[in-house]
Amino acid sequence: MDELQRTDPEVYRLIKQEESYQIESVRLIPSENYVSKAVLEATGSVLANKYSEGYAGRRYYEGQRYIDQIETLVADRAKSLFGAEHANVQPYSGSPANLAVYFALLKPGEGLMGLALPHGGHLSHGWSVSISSNFWRPIHYTVGRESHLIDYEAVRQLARAERPKMIVTGATAYPRQFDFKLFSEIAREVGAYLLADISHIAGLIVAGVHPDPVPYADVVMTTTHKTLRGPRGAMILCRKELAAQIDKAVFPGLQGGPHNHTTAAIGVALKEAATPEFKEYGRQVVNNAKALADELLARGFQLVSGGTDNHLIVVDLTNKAVIGKKAAQALDRAGIVCNHNTIPYDPRKPFSPSGIRLGTPAVTSRGMKEHEMRQIGAWLDTVITHVNDETVIGRVAGEVREFSRQFPAPGLVA
């Protein structure tokens, strides 16, 4: 970044500081990861110079001969990797992609049914502070008070009572697998579309360690970062009979020209995800999450649903008498990055909840395995136990820096 350093040393300095932070910290935020050098290069390419409203072969601008080839290649890779009939690779991010799906298939005021945000769902699945609740009638299913698991019979009864036009399956903080086949049966029974938001678990599905929604869902939406290890973007996969509606909703319905540099980078990530090495990566993500969960359970921590089947863990800190936000801030000072998170039926407010959320995609990308998860669990325990002791937190921070430098971060130079 020599030219950036000469042109804007202030921005250069901040980027380099963030780079060091990503190298020297243990990143446990489930929605974060490390992209490869190839993905970074595609993201920072001359494709940022292009404007390409429309779709391949149907653009509103000339000069698209190479852009059309890139977008077609990326869409074909997406269809091949996920076994989908149609792929739209233009959405800017996950929330706009979900809005495009709703816009394509729902009329204003029709029922939109998703997992409640405090129970692990996502804002864009019809939660009250999201625009998705203003245009469509929000309906929310929940997890059990004791099990913290989705009660599929309760979902069925709610769907029968409310008759939603769309049911969304997917989450941002649900540590168990989804039964897409059963969700599909419920949706068919009430005449609803099924949207599977697999933003968090796309890489696990590719690796074969999570059930696949494509045979059951009408539409599948995924972001392209998180476990898929691509740039910040999104894709919509759907049955061919819905393709025209989905495409029209993305453009011109909600977006202008696609971000071609991001599209190309998505294509690189999809090619990487089609390798045997990626499948092994996905399996290790789940193994690491289970190992970290087991270590925390052994140290007396309470975990939502009692553990994990995927890449993330939600920790209830009530029995530790530590507020989630305070724990997350102390862990950050110790070089362990996570986020405070609500737990199901949380008596505290969302900005200062009872829990924290942990995930293993980024640490697995650095080559860490079960042994390292046990060490991370020990540090989590130490910091949370000594949350008010800056001497202990500082000691752990030094240990974490030394530890992290033993595991090269993909795409970055240590």
Q: CB under 8 Å to 179, separation ≥6 — which residues?
A: 152, 211
User: Same domain for 263 and 380?
Assistant: no
Give yes or no: residues 192 and 116 share one domain: yes
The question of whether 212 is a catalytic residue gets the answer: no
Place of tokens 């997406």: 78
**CATH number of the domain enclosing 72:** 3.40.640.10
pTM comes to 0.95
Q: How far apart are the first and last CA of the chain?
A: 15
pLDDT per residue as tens digits for the range 88-145 = 999 999 999 999 999 999 999 999 999 999 999 999 999 999 999 999 999 999 999 9
Summarize pLDDT for 215-227 with one digit per residue, the tens.
999 999 999 999 9
* Residue 240 shares a structural domain with residue 106: yes
- State the CATH number of the domain containing residue 328: 3.90.1150.10
Task: Classify residue 23: in a domain, yes or no.
Answer: no
Could you tell me if 357 and 223 lie in one domain? Answer: no
67 and 192 share a domain? Answer: yes
Q: How many domains does the chain have?
A: 2
188 is catalytic: no
Let me know if residue 32 belongs to a domain.
no
Q: Is residue 302 in a domain?
A: yes
The answer to whether residue 411 sits within a structural domain is no
Q: How much is the average pLDDT of 346-373? A: 97
Do 212 and 68 share a structural domain?
yes
What is the rounded average pLDDT for all residues in the chain? 97
pLDDT in tens, 300-343: 999 999 999 999 999 999 999 999 999 999 999 999 999 999 99
Would residue 128 count as lying in a domain? yes
Q: Catalytic: which of 12, 51, 152, 345?
A: 51
Q: Are residues 213 and 326 in the same domain?
A: no
Please give the pLDDT value at position 363: 98
Tell whether 311 and 240 lie within a shared domain: no
Q: On the CB side of 60, how many CA atoms lie within 13 Å of its CA?
A: 9
pLDDT value, residue 305? 98
- 53 carries an active-site annotation: yes
Catalytic site includes residue 55: no
Query: Which residue has 């494509």 as its token pair?
Result: 214
**Do 55 and 192 fall into the same domain?**
yes
Query: Could you say which of 27, 79, 165, 226 is catalytic?
Result: 226
Annotation says 232 is catalytic: yes
170 and 85, same domain (yes or no): yes
Segment 379-411, tens digit of pLDDT: 999 999 999 999 999 999 999 999 999 999 999
Q: Beta strand pairing status for 86-88 and 54-55?
A: unpaired
* % pLDDT > 70, the chain: 100
Range of the domain at 200: 40-273
413: confidence class by pLDDT, cuts 50, 70, 90? low
Given the residues 43, 223, 342, 364, select the one marked as catalytic.
223
Which of 230, 248, 273 is the C-terminal boundary of a domain? Answer: 273
Question: Does 48 map to a domain?
Answer: yes
For residue 2, with 0-12 CB atoms within 10 Å meaning exposed, 13-18 middle and 19 or more buried, which class applies?
A: exposed
Q: Is the pLDDT of residue 36 over 70?
A: yes
Residue 414 lies in a domain: no
User: 359 with 251, same domain?
Assistant: no
On whether the CB atoms of residues 152 and 179 are closer than 8 A, the answer is yes
Burial class (CB in 10 A: 0-12, 13-18, 19+), 12: middle
Q: Residues 43, 50, 141, 197: which is the catalytic one?
A: 197
| Choice among 110, 152, 212, 232 that is catalytic | 232
Residues 238 and 379 in one domain: no
Over range 360-381, report the average pLDDT.
Answer: 98
pLDDT at 146 over 90: yes
Q: Which of 19, 53, 76, 399 is catalytic?
A: 53
Known catalytic residue at 189? no
Q: What is the pLDDT of residues 168-206, one digit of tens each?
A: 999 999 999 999 999 999 999 999 999 999 999 999 999
Q: Quote the CA–CA distance of 138 and 136 in Å, as a whole number.
A: 6
Q: Is residue 298 part of a domain?
A: yes
